Chains A and B, each alone.
Chain A
Amino acid sequence: GQSLEQPSEVTAVEGAIVQINCTYQTSGFYGLSWYQQHDGGAPTFLSYNALDGLEETGRFSSFLSRSDSYGYLLLQELQMKDSASYFCAVRDMLNAGKSTFGDGTTLTVKP
């Protein structure tokens, strides 16, 4: 089985940097993905890490440490529009069709 843990809520101010952590337990591991979801809308893909290290995409970066079963999403220069829920997700190595999502972190950006 697979399980992921992430904080339920994070609050930060506009222009700041925030880190959303995700720890996972899996029987096999393809990589860690991150998705953003605004107010019950369609989740949208943000980033993916298959190997250890940092992946950068504009203001968003994602980090993975496979030895620690840990990853994080880093959001820089926060904007009000970044207020949303963020989910980490893993795919099952033994069964590529199965995906497991964390319960999500609600980020609130304040002026």
Chain B
Amino acid sequence: EAQVTQNPRYLITVTGKKLTVTCSQNMNHEYMSWYRQDPGLGLRQIYYSMNVEVTDKGDVPEGYKVSRKEKRNFPLILESPSPNQTSLYFCASRGPGTKNTEAFFGQGTRLTVV
């Protein structure tokens, strides 16, 4: 089954304690991306990756890091989480080229920073 898998689904952590949210896709997609979603708002792009070792900032990258060492994985790293990073996070992947418009999303990670 084609899917994007995020872990953990829920996480409560304290300010300043480094954490990593993992994302893995089994569709051999080149493109992967991270979004955050806050109440009443749409998805805002944090970082994206066009291929292995190729990453770039989205609209809200501050406080986040990513890496793309292999095609299937695209972890999101919060080096020093703060309460304003409390949010619902989604990872997504998509096939290459302009004809591949459908993005596949993971089930989301609900992060609370206290």
Instruction: Given A42-B105, A45-B103, verify A101-B42 contact (CB < 8 Å).
Output: yes
Prevailing SS type, chain A contact patch: loop
The A64-111 residues at the B interface (CB cut-off 8 A) are 87, 89, 91, 95-104
Give the number of residues in B that approach A within 8 Å (Cβ atoms).
Answer: 28
Residues on A lying within 8 angstroms of B by beta carbon are 4, 8, 30-31, 33, 35, 40-45, 48, 50, 87, 89, 91, 95-104
Q: List 24 A-B contacts (CB under 8 A).
A: A30-B98, A40-B37, A40-B108, A40-B110, A41-B108, A42-B106, A43-B43, A45-B103, A48-B101, A48-B102, A50-B101, A89-B42, A95-B56, A96-B50, A97-B31, A98-B48, A98-B56, A99-B45, A99-B48, A99-B103, A100-B59, A101-B35, A103-B42, A104-B42
Residues on B lying within 8 angstroms of A by beta carbon are 31, 33, 35, 37, 40-45, 48-50, 56, 58-59, 88, 90, 98, 101-108, 110
